């Protein structure tokens, strides 16, 4: 009987992956607390090290508790990191995994020393952002160790898929339209609504709302909200309609899109084009009632998704999802511009967060529908590079997304609610991504996909509450 690959109590490879994931979340918790202004101010209330002196002001008891909590957590996370590294060194971890953990352990005392200097001498005594940069680097090494370990444990050297059989559409019966006039009107109206891709609207509107909230805070006006979200819905509808028009032939070859209105000739192409142009004009009219910059960004969003992504990126490059994330990031800039008539650094940070999240989100869907994308001739990551590489890149981009969330909180006044939400839902997202490596089924891919939606939705809501309510209070 062979001995287990890792020492007790870990023993199995799945438990070791869980240990790596827990270590990553622990390190990340320390990083985001250090970047959160309201919590950082509390931590700096303790100007001695390693222990905190009793406060002279009774109102500082809460700040003292936070400072002690941060330092105790740093000790516990440090022990967890050392323990994980020892398990990797003794067990059957690859050399890459070991070296990544060695680097993280080597940097940890440096991080502690910088934190001690910051507490005793003040944040201005050192290079601004040094403490945060080291913490992010440690986190990156742990995420790399996790991704590389799972690649070896659960992956294959060449798992690119074989060309799937085309779907049989030759004997499909013609669409039967309802006899009643009202039923036909309902069917046609729903077809036009479906072309607007309504499933995308709630999340993209939340992105724009978060951009507005970051820019205006509690002073955000209802008229700005209504106009920005109204113009955004129309712009999303226009982009979706043009996408349906341009992909109507390919949609017929894919089972998940074969029932789209233009793929089934329910809506004539000319009518769909006119509808898309109408939505574009309506969107520009609404955006222009706010300012020219918001309208220009809205037009860029429509053109980028309809032309650049649909015609140039999606059918031609495996990086289509990565570059295409720019389309989903634009609502953050539109929301900020609607309030300020400019593009600010926090808006760019929020857009960057969305951009980094997009591959971690969409690659799960690409895994679930890889046969369909292959039939359509789209070079999605699982089709071109295989499932192993795709799952590894999901972890890479989850790590990058979480770093982007740290950058956002560091550049803004977002507080504890945002940080707690990012840690909790980020940990959940990471857990389902790890589970996807072991289960490797369509169901697991959809679980990770929905976890990514939950993560971004919760983070955006936390931004709204923090910016509109908590900051205002």
pLDDT in tens, 327-376: 999 999 999 999 999 999 999 999 999 999 999 999 999 999 999 999 88
Average pLDDT of the residues in 146-152: 95
**104-118, 170-184, 423-437, 441-455: which has the minimum mean pLDDT?**
170-184
Q: What is the pLDDT of residue 322?
A: 95
**Selection from 431, 411, 419 nearest residue 214 by Cα:** 411
Q: Higher model confidence: residue 97 or residue 414? A: 97
Q: Which range among 36-40, 122-126, 433-437 has the greatest average pLDDT?
A: 433-437
% of residues, the chain, pLDDT over 90 = 69
What was the pLDDT predicted at 59?
Answer: 46
Instruction: Write the pLDDT tens digit of every residue in 367-408.
Output: 999 999 998 889 999 999 999 999 999 999 999 999 999 999
More confident residue, 62 or 374: 374
- pLDDT the model gives residue 456: 97
pTM of the model: 0.92
Mean pLDDT of 429-450: 96
Residue 14 and residue 10: Cα distance in Å, rounded? 9
Question: SS3 letters for the chain?
Answer: CCCCCCCCCCCCHHHHHHHHHHHHHHHHHHHHHHHCHHHHHHHCCCCCCCCCCCCCCHHHHHHHHHHHHHHHHHHHHHHHHHHHHHHHHHCCCCHHHHHHHHHHHHHHHHHHHHHHHHHHHCHHHCCCCHHHHHHHHHHHHHHHHHHHHHHHHHCCCCCCCCCCCCCCCCCCCCCCCCCCHHHHHHHHHHHHHHHCCHHHHHHHHHHHHHHHHHHHHHHCCHHHHHHHHHHHHHHHHHHHHHHHHHCHHHHCCCCCCCCCCCCCCCCCHHHHHHHHHHHHHHHHHHHHCCCHHHHHHHHHHHHHHHHHHHHHHCCCCCCHHHHHHHHHHHHHHHHHHHHHCCCCHHHHHHHHHHHHHHHHHHHHHHHHCHHHHHHHCCCCHHHHCCHHHHHHHHHHHHHHHHHHHHHHHHHCCCCHHHHHHHHHHHHHHHHHHHHHHHHCCHHHHHHHHHHHHHHHHHHHHHHHHHHHHHCCC
Residue 74 has pLDDT above 70, yes or no: yes
Q: Which of 59-73, 279-293, 323-337 has the lowest mean pLDDT?
A: 59-73
Per-residue pLDDT reduced to its tens digit, 228-256: 999 999 999 999 999 999 999 998 888 88
pLDDT over 70, % of the chain: 89
C-alpha R_g of the chain: 25
């Amino acid at each position: 009987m062979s001995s287990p690959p890792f020492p007790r109590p870990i023993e199995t490879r799945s438990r070791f992956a869980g240990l790596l994931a827990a270590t990553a979340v622990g390190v990340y918790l320390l990083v985001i607390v250090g970047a959160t202004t309201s919590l950082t101010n509390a931590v700096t209330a303790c100007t001695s090290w390693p222990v905190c002196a009793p406060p002279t002001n009774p109102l500082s008891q809460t700040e003292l508790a936070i400072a002690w909590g941060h330092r105790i957590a740093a000790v516990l996370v440090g022990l967890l990191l050392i323990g994980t590294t020892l398990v990797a060194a003794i067990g059957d971890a690859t050399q890459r995994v070991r070296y990544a953990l060695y680097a993280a352990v080597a940097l940890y005392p440096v991080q502690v020393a910088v934190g001690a200097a910051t507490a005793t001498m003040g944040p201005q005594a050192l290079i601004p952002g040094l403490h945060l940069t080291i913490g992010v680097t440690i986190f990156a090494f742990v995420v790399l160790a996790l991704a590389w370990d799972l690649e070896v444990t659960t992956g294959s050297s060449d798992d690119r898929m074989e060309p799937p059989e085309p779907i049989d559409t030759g004997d499909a019966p013609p669409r039967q339209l309802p006899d009643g006039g009202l039923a036909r009107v309902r069917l046609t109206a729903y077809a036009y609504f479906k072309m607007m891709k309504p499933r995308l609207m709630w999340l993209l509107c939340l992105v724009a709302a978060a951009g507005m909230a970051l820019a205006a805070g509690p002073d955000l006006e209802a008229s700005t909200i209504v106009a920005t979200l109204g113009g955004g819905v129309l712009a999303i509808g226009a982009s979706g309609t043009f996408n349906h028009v341009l992909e109507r032939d390919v949609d017929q070859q894919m089972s998940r899109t074969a029932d789209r209105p233009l793929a089934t000739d329910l809506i004539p192409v000319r009518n769909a084009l006119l509808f898309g142009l109408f939505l574009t004009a309506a969107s520009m009219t609404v955006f222009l009632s706010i300012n020219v910059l918001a309208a220009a960004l809205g037009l860029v969003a429509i053109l980028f998704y309809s032309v650049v992504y649909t015609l140039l990126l999606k059918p031609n490059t495996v990086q289509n999802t990565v570059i295409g994330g720019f389309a989903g990031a634009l609502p953050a800039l539109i929301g900020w511009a609607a309030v300020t008539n400019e593009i600010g650094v926090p808006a760019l940070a929020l857009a960057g967060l969305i951009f980094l999240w997009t591959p971690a989100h969409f690659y799960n869907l690409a895994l679930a529908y890889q046969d369909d994308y292959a039939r359509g001739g789209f070079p999605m990551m699982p089709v071109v590079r295989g499932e192993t590489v795709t799952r590894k890149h999901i972890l890479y981009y989850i790590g990058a997304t979480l770093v982007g969330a740290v950058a956002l909180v560091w550049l803004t006044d977002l507080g504890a609610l945002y940080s707690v939400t990012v840690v909790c839902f980020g940990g959940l997202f990471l857990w389902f991504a790890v589970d996807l490596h072991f289960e490797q089924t369509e169901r697991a891919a959809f679980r990770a996909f929905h976890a990514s939606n939950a993560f971004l939705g919760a983070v955006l809501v936390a931004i709204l509450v923090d910016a509109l309510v908590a900051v205002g209070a």
